[in-house]
Amino acid sequence: MKTFKRFIQGLFFGLITGSLITLLFAPEEGSELRKKIVTRFQEMSSQFKQAANQKKAELEEEINQYLKPK
């Protein structure tokens, strides 16, 4: 559970840091930048959901193994 919590913290920190760096160093117009940010956020959100679902499946499998009658 600790590793998952650290993963979430790292993901959040990475999102914030990446967004700020992009805003500060972007040589594009605001509308183009906003489109890119939205697209990237959607991609990362999709990846996060996929990782969360995978971890959920792994945890459910572990729980089912413990609950199996011996």
Residue 6 CA to residue 50 CA, distance in Å, equals 17
Question: pLDDT class for 50, splitting at 50, 70, 90?
Answer: very high
Question: pLDDT class for 70, splitting at 50, 70, 90?
Answer: low
The pair of three-digit structure tokens given for residue 57, joined into one six-digit string: 């499946």
State the pLDDT at residue 54: 93
pTM confidence score: 0.52
The domain total for the chain is: 1
State the pLDDT at residue 53: 93
Question: 40 is in which domain, residue-wise?
Answer: 2-67
State the pLDDT at residue 40: 87
Which has more confidence, 7 or 33?
7
Residue range 55-68: average pLDDT? 89
